[in-house]
Amino acid sequence: MSGKFSSKINSIIILMITLILAGLSAALLFFFFSFNKKLNRTEEDTVYKRYYAMITGNDESNFVDSLYDSMIAHATDQESYVEILSKNLSQEYSDRELVKIAIASNVDGIILYADDNSELSDLINEANEKNIPVITLFNDFDLSERLSFVGISNYNLGKEYGNLIIGMMDENILKDDVIKVCVLVDANSGDSGQNVLFSAISETIEKEHKLHPYTHKPAEVRAYPVDTSNSFSVEESVRNLLMDTSTDKPDVVVCLTENETTSMYQAVVDYNEVGSINILGFYDSPAILKGIERNVIYATISIDTDEIAKSCIDALSEYYELGNTSEYNTADIKVINRSNLNEYKEEDENEK
């Protein structure tokens, strides 16, 4: 009886010990394999069929980040991978050099977000010769043999800014007889797009003034060059505009990049010009949206980066699958001001 009992206890204890040891060993093995897997991650990663290089100059704004994120998401869906070429390099290269590197690296496609100039056009043609398709982003190198342009219509954009200024006149925000509008343009760019945009703003306001000369005042639209040659020059240029005493302070400042908008917003607050200088911004970063909320920025124009990114990747994929694609892709623009800010935020939240 006692023998049976003790042998039963014996069996239970031996079983328990075996289980504990087995459990520990299993934990050890599991830990080992999971650790191994983690280390092998780079080796086991999905291998993509195509590799596109994105050249963004040295632009590190939220806008570019957001664009890039969308780009990667769409690219990986199509077994491709996009990389901002300058990102992992220890040395800073000019756009021209980066394009050269991309060509020498035999990438499967180049997405070029750079200022329009003829130097790059040569390289775009060279890439084309080597069967590397080039997509130009926002600035159309229309004289080059680029595969496709993806961006927004500068004319439409200018018209939209013009309409916003007219809107301000309607709201009686602008009190001067001649409204001084200042458009921040890229000093380093020989881009025709900026001219289109600039003239579209003037044209829209002038047209309105001619139609309703009493309610809508004439405007003096001038361009203010912003130095984009290095990372910090934009902010300096924007501040210089406010400190410049040789000219009158503008009533409206039109910013065409995210950086300009943010810098202008901060400068207006710093120099206590809220209310006297109205900002029309570009892009919908959280800082800019906050500016609208605080009534410092009158309105901003947002671009659907996801749509842009999708167009880029689709264009490249179509090139490889069909041999060609449409040359011109424009994305819609959207005005965000205090009246639709909350609505927009909610939409954005839902999309995320």
Partner 1 sequence: MRNKFRNLSLQYKITFITLLLNLIVFAINVVLLVSINNMSDRIDSVYRANLQLNDIQSSLNEVQDNMTEYLNVKTSDALEDYYRSAQAYRNLISGLDSRITQSPIGRMGRAIYNMSENYLDETEQTIEAKRGRNVEKYHVRYDEATALYGYISTYVYSLNNEQFRENSDNYREMVNAFRLFETLGNIIMFGVILSNAFLIMRLTAELTRPLKSLTGMATEVSKGNFDIEPLPVYSEDEIGVVTKTFNKMVVSIQDYIVKIRESATVEQQLREKELLMESHLKDAQLKYLQAQINPHFLFNTLNAGAQLAMMEGADRTYEYVQVMAEFFRYNVKKGSQTVTIGEELELVDNYIYILNVRFSGDIKYEKEIDKALLGVEMPSMILQPIVENCVNHGIRDMMGEGKITVKVYSIDNTACISVEDNGVGMSEETIARLMSGQPVTKDDGRSSTGIGMDNVMARLKLFAGYDEVMGIESEGEGKGSKFTIYLDMKEA
Residues making contact with partner 1 (CB under 8 A):
3, 7, 10, 13-14, 17, 20-21, 24-25, 27-29, 31-32, 35-36, 38-39, 42, 45-51, 81, 83, 87-91, 93, 97, 100-101, 104-107
* Cβ-based nearer residue to partner 1, 81 or 320: 81
Nearest CB to partner 1, comparing residues 105 and 295? 105
Least distance (Å) between residue 83 CB and partner 1: 6
Encode 101-135 in three state secondary structure. Answer: HHHHCCCCEEEECCCCCHHHHHHHHHHHHCCCCEE
Q: How far is the CB of 15 from partner 1 (least distance, A)?
A: 11
Shortest reach from residue 114's CB to partner 1, in Å? 18
Alpha carbons 140 and 268: distance in angstroms, whole number = 32
Give the shortest CB-117-to-partner 1 separation in angstroms: 19
Least Å distance between CB 27 and partner 1? 7
Exposure string over 107-141, b if 16+ CB within 10 A, otherwise e: bbbbbbbbbbbeebbebbebbbeeebbbbbbbbbb
Radius of gyration of the chain (CA): 28
Q: 91 or 272: whose CB is closer to partner 1? A: 91
Q: Report the distance separating Cα 16 and Cα 13, nearest Å.
A: 5
Where does residue 12 rank: exposed (0-12), middle (13-18), buried (19+ CB within 10 A)?
exposed
* CB nearer to partner 1: pick between 109 and 250: 109
**43 class by beta-carbon count within 10 Å (0-12 exposed, 13-18 middle, 19+ buried):** exposed
Residue 254 C-beta: closest distance to partner 1, Å: 38
Comparing CB distances to partner 1, the nearer of 97 and 235 is 97
3-state secondary structure of 39: helix
Please state, in angstroms and rounded to a whole number, the distance separating the CA atoms of residues 165 and 60.
29
CB of 172 to partner 1, least distance (A): 54
Query: Based on CB atoms, which residue is closest to partner 1, 6 or 295?
Result: 6
Angle at which helices 233-243 and 258-270 cross, to 10°: 40
Query: What tokens appear for 66 in the block?
Result: 């957001």
- Judged by DSSP in three states, 190 sits in coil
What is the Cα–Cα distance from 296 to 196, expressed in whole angstroms?
27
If the CB atoms of residues 48 and 155 are measured against partner 1, the closer one turns out to be: 48
